[in-house]
Structure 1
Amino acid sequence: MNLGKDKGPGKGVKTYQRLWGLVQRHPKKILILVLLLVAYYFCLPNQLFHTPHATVVESKSGKLLGAVIAEDGQWRFPMVDSVPYKFEACILNFEDAHFYQHPGFNPVSISKAFIANILAGKTVRGGSTLTQQVIRLSRNNKRRTYWEKVRELVLATRLELKFSKKYILKLYASHAPFGGNVVGLEAAAWRYFGMQPSQLSWAEAATLAVLPNAPSLIYPGKNATKLLNKRNRLLHKLWNNNHIDSTTYQLSLLEELPQKPFQLPDTAPHLVQYLAKKYKGKRILTHVDQNLQANINSIVNTHYKNLRQNQVYNAAVLLMDVKTRKVLSYVGNTPTDNEHEKDVDMVQANRSTGSVLKPLLYTAMMNAGELLPGMLIPDVPTQIAGYTPENFNESYSGAVEADKALAKSLNIPAVRLLRSYGLEKFRDQLDLFNLRGLDKPADHYGLTLILGGAESNLWDLCKTYASLASTVNHFNATSSEYYTKEFVEPNLTVDTRVDFGAKSTEPTIFDAASIYLAFEAMKKVNRPEGSESWEFFDSSKQIAWKTGTSFGNKDAWAIGITKDYVVGVWTGNADGEGRPNVTGLTSAAPILFNVFDVLPRSSWFQKPEDEFTEIKVCSESGYLATEICPKKIISIPKKQNFIKPCGYHQWVHLDSQKQFRVNSSCADLSRTVSQSWFVLPPLMEYYYKKGHPSYKTLPPLMENCKETNVAAMEFIYPSNGSRITLARNFEGKKNELIIKLAHVKPATPVYWYLDGKFMGQTTDYHEMGLMPRPGKHGITAVDALGNEVALMITIE
């Protein structure tokens, strides 16, 4: 049975057979065609332009903060994101009306140009499309020959196949010459009109549209008539083609041409230079708030006018967002001159830290359970291994609470705390903060580490305090947890994301409670003149802040912290010259609080309750309470506590009139009055009672009683082991060495001996002037009751 006809090969097979037959008949022609197609496909370079770009830095809203010129000396910005409508309409009407219709070349325009040039005997008209001009620009404007035109035409068609019309237009707008060393629409808009391309008027856009036509001949400031005529003809064409109305046309004709190039915005010059080192030739979108930057620039400029009257010429300010670590403002220096190092970025410069590390020591000791906020710290003349620290005000308080010592930035308590905590241990902990400039071992710095013996910079210090603040914020926001990467670098650019790491029950460095207590102490720092009574005003902002002044008044610091912001300020001279009255309080702090005045109000830190526990302490000494001292309850970090019980309270036995102390050597203790008494050692008491009128000196011992276990007297000056050089007076004679001593009963006579030789007697005011010769000497003081103290000194 015949079920159907054989249909034979399908259409696809037949097509293949015909093509194969064609190849067999014309192999050479087919090979040449294939090679031409391959050559055509690969004729367009992967990267058309290899010219360097300027480094462009923008604010978070896309406003230009500043730029660094390209390596070849051209103002050539990175490629624009888009071409504004006005400029697009202008350039298409002037150069290529059929841009969106042709395949890369316009046969009609080429024919007209060819005929015109033949008749004229020279090139009088061009027929290039914008696509062809892009190719010519990418080939560095090679000499115009017919062969070059052919190559441009081929490459232009290939460009059209590879990219969209919008992209080709962006290529042209980004690389067209606009006269002088200005290349590209964006650079031209800023240089000639001082604004972004999107802000250009029709007249301004038309001016820029005609410039690339003859950039070597026509540019602002020269040939103004030719430029004006070209612009006005283009405006007329725009009106005829209904791009603008009659009113806009008439008003545009009245606009003047630019007379000279504008300076580019220079809102954050040091930030621009800092970023240009890492992002050379790129467009960088930062987190900088342009309005805040302008306000802080103005604040710095205002204070600069005052500072320079004291020959202080430099200052810097850094503003960071605590929660995101975004840098919101970066002022690297004042608007000073080259002579005074105006180009030095003082945000990044390492300088002596002064006292700004003291809160870190306070926090470290809290975190280690070795300090309580109200614990009394000795504040008396001190010499440690030949080092004699001095308080800034050159006075002593005898004893001071730890938090007040931090608030008052007292040097002697800080040095004593550092020695107690351990210099090596604290130095090692500082490495965790990655403070550049602090790169030497503990022995190099010694105890001066806490007073400015080390160097760091505003960038790293602000980063550190922002991380401390964020530790408290995160703990309160995450069900009492920490982040493993809390101490991260500040965030400058929008393409950078801060990674705080994973959550953890263990703190990164310090616990939230210790940090919170440090901030509470820093909140009590006396504010600059005019703001001393801030706590009495509801509108005042709560700010934890710390000042610092380096040795020789070379550097003045102020760092302020709130829940949301960290502000750091440095003032001084970039060349290191110190000036009188340059201190953190008088020079840097006023700038700090002016900056906080322009910031939104922040609430105070929430107390991290889960990291606290309550204990009883002695209300007068701040040490752990004993049975014999008045008590109060305080909150401290929840950790092992190494604080000793209070040793400043002791039981004393008094006679019935409570006028004299008695003991078993002279009285029946069953008939005496016993009570707890707050007693400081003689040297601490000597200074402490001057500032504490309520302090009661221990009553004197009854005459027929023997003294037991009480230090009766102590040297105030000098310290044991001191090396002393006797100064000379105006007459050239050496001044006496004045020895000072504190006695629990000042009226008791004291007898003085130098190297065993009696030198005199004092009563009430125990000071003795001596004139020892160079060399080692022993000084001994013996009171009428037989108590004796001695020390050794060396006269140089």
Structure 2
Amino acid sequence: MKLINYIKRHKIKSAILAVLLVVYYFSLPKDLFKDPTATVITSNNNELLGAKIADDGQWRFPETDRVPEKFKTCLLLFEDEYFYKHPGFNPISIFKALKENISSGSVKRGGSTLTQQVIRLSRKGQSRTYLEKLKEIILATRLEFRHSKDDILKLYASHAPFGGNVVGIDAAAWRYFNREASNLSWAESATLAVLPNAPSLIYPGKNQQRLLDKRNRLLKKLLDNGTIDELTYELSVAETLPQKPYPLPQIAPHLLQKTAKHNKGKRLKTTVDITLQTQTNHIVKQHYNSLKQNEIYNISVLVLDVKTRKVLTYIGNSPTDNAHQKSVDIIDKPRSTGSILKPFLYAAMLDAGDLLPHTLVADVPTQFGSYQPENYDKSYDGAVHANEALSRSLNVPAVRMLQDFGLDRFYHYLKQLKLKDLRYNANHYGLSLALGGAESNLWDLCKSYAAMASTLNHFNDHSSAYFTNEFIEPVYNFESKVDFGKLVSEKSVFDAASIYLTFESMKQVNRPESDESWEFYDSSQDIAWKTGTSFGFRDAWAIGTTKDYVVGVWVGNADGEGRPGLVGVQTAAPILFDVFDILPKSDWFAKPYDEMIEVSICKKSGYRASTACDDIEPRFIQNSGQKTAPCPFHKLVHLDASEQFQVNSSCEDVSNLKTTSWFVLPPLQEYYFKTKNPFYKPLPPFRNDCVKTSAIHMEFIYPNQQNTIFLPKDFDGNTNDLILKVAHSKPELTLYWYIDDAFIGQTKDIHDMAVLPQQGEYTITVVDELGNEIKHKITVAN
């Protein structure tokens, strides 16, 4: 009531006072410092991984979250012993400074508190006049109202100049002593405490003696007030001063580059394990030094934690030079996939119930229109088990499997994996989609392998349930949490059994391209892994997963130049296994029994056993695999007593027939299969006195599906013959050969026919002695 009466009696004074209070309240800007700051990334335990200089060319880290105790003690003793007692300015210090300056006729002493110095730093070095000092005092008191004493100390420590282009305690500690500010010694802390007093005159490398004297005087004060003991003092004054700035650590430069795009000028705590990152850097450097001898200059490596989906190691490129795109981060760049997508096709076919793991698939010369896939070694197995085709990375079986499965169906599975570089429709890629016709990047591929491993882990750990958001993006921000969604009974992409069976195939010890020197890449733990090599030897891949970790490696040249020997198993796989060797060992995945069923499998064909199969074993398959067809390759045949001929009731008494199960492949598959499987036994021929009732099969070996034939020439320039080849289920029959209805010859047992046609179009017709016929149209070109 008295206040109200006073205001009424002194309206003008009260209004002036109110205006002054408002001006005082708003006198201090909301943000004292608007200077650009460096982008800083740290590891998962807060160790510095790297920093990118601020836009104004200053090494100014984002504001520190704590001031180290040693530096704080040294700073207060040197600059402002009464910091925690004054209201922002110290009248006694100001009076002493004023007295000394007047008596000397010049400014000899400032008398400013740390709070005032924060204000001066924020005002960008205004001229040191008495009017400016008055403004600093007013603003300093306002700052004391806004912030705690500790916060003011943080502002000073973050923005104080330390000489050259170094600003703030964190940057200074790294630039001058190559370590965190919290790890500085007493001598180092004292050095940094005296630097802001005259940073343009005294800093490491300049006026060393003056800097040394100021540091040692401060250390003596610490000794005198009992902060340090005599031994610590003696050891501290014996420490040398830094001579020149250290370069800041660049342990994960490409992750820093990635961070700067979205978190520029901020400090980001990442998920990277600094020990693992450093060791992997060393591995990459070793392999780079070897690979560059073959003019292969770029390597990228990504390591993910399967359970948390956190990035543990991020190496965007090898330590190459600017001429070979050192700054390019290849982890998220699209590159030709080679064979690295084959496991997804295998898993998709298992998931859809179109395949069993050991099913025999055809491996014979194949052509789809103008597209003719070939295996790496240019040879064919005739028929090969699907899991072996995957572990050996055979191209022809993969393309035939894709053709049978359906291009659109497989493309749909890939889109569910969220491979962002699949920008076109399925027809754009065609059947080459399984062999590198599409592009993807190391980030997306590792993400997909990690999601598959995690799906299997979660299924076994959560009572046979699936998470709705399993195929989620990995994270490198330590504060980010992965949300796997809700637990449901339905799979999101692949079921657990299909993933498990795919991983079982991928851990086989067959090298994708050859069996040579496999022992050098053997590991003490089971790893599901796959390599890939793009057309023209431009990209080499190796990606592997265990229950806990995914490691992905890409090797090549950033400019796309291909090199001989740039093959996944030779260049990327050794790096993959070197990285796995430094990771903690993992147990193998548990079998997801709830998504599997035990059935009888034909050992030779890998199909569900039919009544004709003679060698059967129980195996667990995926539930959807129950709808696959029974074995088509075993048939019951009737033999005579010698078991050398087939017979039937037309030539042998029924009581003498010996019924036997026989494994029979189609003629073209049989032709190649028996060359690599010496124990394969073709069907015995019918005895001459028997009426032949079984079906006759005949196929072209060459040309098989080729439409255009180029005749080779020898060293003398002469054109060589075209060798026509046919596989017949009963090779003992005589075959009659025609070109455009003109008879050219006959063959028996071995059905090869040499011809030398001119350029043009022809129809080849082959007829056996029983009247069975096959035709094939070809175009002969130079």
Query: CA shift at 1:530, angstroms?
Result: 5.7
1:772 aligns with 2:765: no
Using the TM superposition, name which of 623-632 and 67-76 deviates more: 623-632
Structure 2 Cα separation of the partners of residues 226 and 729 of structure 1:
87
Query: CA shift at 1:74, angstroms?
Result: 1.0
Alignment of 1:80-99 (within 5 A): 80-99=64-83
Question: What is the aligned counterpart of 1:422 among 384, 395, 406?
Answer: 406
Structure 2 Cα separation of the partners of residues 369 and 342 of structure 1:
46
Query: CA shift at 1:667, angstroms?
Result: 4.4
Structure 2 Cα separation of the partners of residues 525 and 488 of structure 1:
30
Question: What is the aligned counterpart of 2:666 among 668, 672, 681?
Answer: 681
Q: Is the 2:356–2:625 contact (alpha carbons within 8 Å) kept by the matching residues of 1?
A: no
Question: What is the aligned counterpart of 1:558 among 524, 542, 555?
Answer: 542
Question: What is the aligned counterpart of 2:698 among 705, 713, 737?
Answer: 713
Structure 2 Cα separation of the partners of residues 754 and 474 of structure 1:
63
Structure 2 Cα separation of the partners of residues 763 and 530 of structure 1:
43
Alignment of 1:483-502 (within 5 A): 483-502=467-486
1:294 aligns with 2:292: no
Using the TM superposition, name which of 650-659 and 317-326 deviates more: 650-659
Percent pairwise identity: 59
Alignment of 1:352-391 (within 5 A): 352-391=336-375
Per the alignment, residue 261 of structure 2 pairs with 277
Q: Structure 1 residues 323 and 214 mapped into 2: Cα distance closer, same or farther (>3 Å)? A: same
Amino acid at match of 1:243: T
1:723 aligns with 2:747: no
Q: Is the 1:326–1:492 contact (alpha carbons within 8 Å) kept by the matching residues of 2?
A: yes
1:434 aligns with 2:418: yes
Using the TM superposition, name which of 432-441 and 464-473 deviates more: 432-441
Question: What is the aligned counterpart of 1:156 among 140, 153, 166?
Answer: 140
Amino acid at match of 1:58: T
Alignment of 1:49-198 (within 5 A): 49-198=33-182
Per the alignment, residue 791 of structure 1 pairs with 776
1:314 aligns with 2:301: no
1:305 aligns with 2:293: no
Query: CA shift at 1:749, angstroms?
Result: 4.7
- State the TM-score, normalized to the length of structure 1: 0.94
Question: What is the aligned counterpart of 1:651 among 614, 631, 636?
Answer: 636
Structure 2 Cα separation of the partners of residues 335 and 55 of structure 1:
21
Per the alignment, residue 209 of structure 1 pairs with 193
Question: What is the aligned counterpart of 1:581 among 544, 548, 565?
Answer: 565
CA distances 1:736-787 after superposition (whole Å, capped 9, x unpaired): 3332222345455544332233334445543333333333211223345554
Per the alignment, residue 737 of structure 2 pairs with 752
SS at match of 1:108: helix
Query: CA shift at 1:216, angstroms?
Result: 1.8
Using the TM superposition, name which of 330-339 and 511-520 deviates more: 330-339
SS at match of 2:283: helix
Structure 2 Cα separation of the partners of residues 221 and 732 of structure 1:
77
Structure 1 Cα separation of the partners of residues 112 and 712 of structure 2:
90
Listed as ranges, the gaps of 5+ residues in structure 2 are none
Query: CA shift at 1:213, angstroms?
Result: 1.3
Alignment of 1:587-602 (within 5 A): 587-602=571-586
Listed as ranges, the gaps of 5+ residues in structure 1 are 1-15
Per the alignment, residue 519 of structure 2 pairs with 532
Per the alignment, residue 227 of structure 2 pairs with 243
Q: Is the 2:355–2:625 contact (alpha carbons within 8 Å) kept by the matching residues of 1?
A: no
Q: Is the 2:350–2:625 contact (alpha carbons within 8 Å) kept by the matching residues of 1?
A: no
Amino acid at match of 2:765: T
CA distances 1:507-557 after superposition (whole Å, capped 9, x unpaired): 11111011001011111142586653988xxx8201111111111111111
Query: CA shift at 1:656, angstroms?
Result: 2.7
Q: Structure 1 residues 241 and 36 mapped into 2: Cα distance closer, same or farther (>3 Å)? A: same
Using the TM superposition, name which of 30-39 and 705-714 deviates more: 705-714
Q: Structure 1 residues 102 and 286 mapped into 2: Cα distance closer, same or farther (>3 Å)? A: same
Amino acid at match of 1:710: A
CA distances 1:360-396 after superposition (whole Å, capped 9, x unpaired): 1111111111111111100111111221111111111
Structure 2 Cα separation of the partners of residues 107 and 317 of structure 1:
61
Q: Structure 1 residues 106 and 696 mapped into 2: Cα distance closer, same or farther (>3 Å)? A: same
Q: Structure 1 residues 733 and 259 mapped into 2: Cα distance closer, same or farther (>3 Å)? A: farther
SS at match of 2:128: coil
CA distances 1:559-598 after superposition (whole Å, capped 9, x unpaired): 1111111111111111111111221111111111111111
Structure 1 Cα separation of the partners of residues 133 and 284 of structure 2:
57
Q: Is the 2:366–2:705 contact (alpha carbons within 8 Å) kept by the matching residues of 1?
A: no
1:743 aligns with 2:716: no
Q: Is the 1:136–1:142 contact (alpha carbons within 8 Å) kept by the matching residues of 2?
A: yes
Q: Is the 2:354–2:625 contact (alpha carbons within 8 Å) kept by the matching residues of 1?
A: no
Amino acid at match of 1:358: K
Structure 1 Cα separation of the partners of residues 34 and 717 of structure 2:
76
Per the alignment, residue 693 of structure 1 pairs with 678
SS at match of 2:404: helix
1:30 aligns with 2:14: yes
SS at match of 2:624: coil
Q: Structure 1 residues 755 and 224 mapped into 2: Cα distance closer, same or farther (>3 Å)? A: same
SS at match of 1:548: strand
Per the alignment, residue 623 of structure 2 pairs with 638
Structure 1 Cα separation of the partners of residues 487 and 503 of structure 2:
23
SS at match of 1:93: helix
Q: Structure 1 residues 88 and 773 mapped into 2: Cα distance closer, same or farther (>3 Å)? A: same
SS at match of 2:519: coil
Structure 2 Cα separation of the partners of residues 721 and 696 of structure 1:
29
Structure 2 Cα separation of the partners of residues 379 and 639 of structure 1:
25
Q: Structure 1 residues 790 and 668 mapped into 2: Cα distance closer, same or farther (>3 Å)? A: farther
Per the alignment, residue 11 of structure 1 pairs with none
Q: Structure 1 residues 564 and 94 mapped into 2: Cα distance closer, same or farther (>3 Å)? A: same
Q: Is the 2:301–2:314 contact (alpha carbons within 8 Å) kept by the matching residues of 1?
A: yes
- State the TM-score, normalized to the length of structure 2: 0.96
Amino acid at match of 2:681: K
Q: Is the 2:447–2:474 contact (alpha carbons within 8 Å) kept by the matching residues of 1?
A: yes
**Aligned residue-pair number:** 777
Amino acid at match of 1:91: L
Structure 1 Cα separation of the partners of residues 559 and 190 of structure 2:
50
CA distances 1:46-77 after superposition (whole Å, capped 9, x unpaired): 21111111111000110000011111111111
Q: Structure 1 residues 531 and 735 mapped into 2: Cα distance closer, same or farther (>3 Å)? A: closer
Query: CA shift at 1:148, angstroms?
Result: 1.6
Question: What is the aligned counterpart of 1:327 among 311, 317, 321?
Answer: 311
SS at match of 2:457: helix
Structure 1 Cα separation of the partners of residues 343 and 288 of structure 2:
28
Question: What is the aligned counterpart of 2:205 among 214, 221, 228?
Answer: 221
Amino acid at match of 1:315: I
RMSD: 1.9
Amino acid at match of 2:519: E
Structure 2 Cα separation of the partners of residues 37 and 712 of structure 1:
104
Query: CA shift at 1:231, angstroms?
Result: 1.7
SS at match of 1:169: helix
Q: Structure 1 residues 678 and 87 mapped into 2: Cα distance closer, same or farther (>3 Å)? A: same
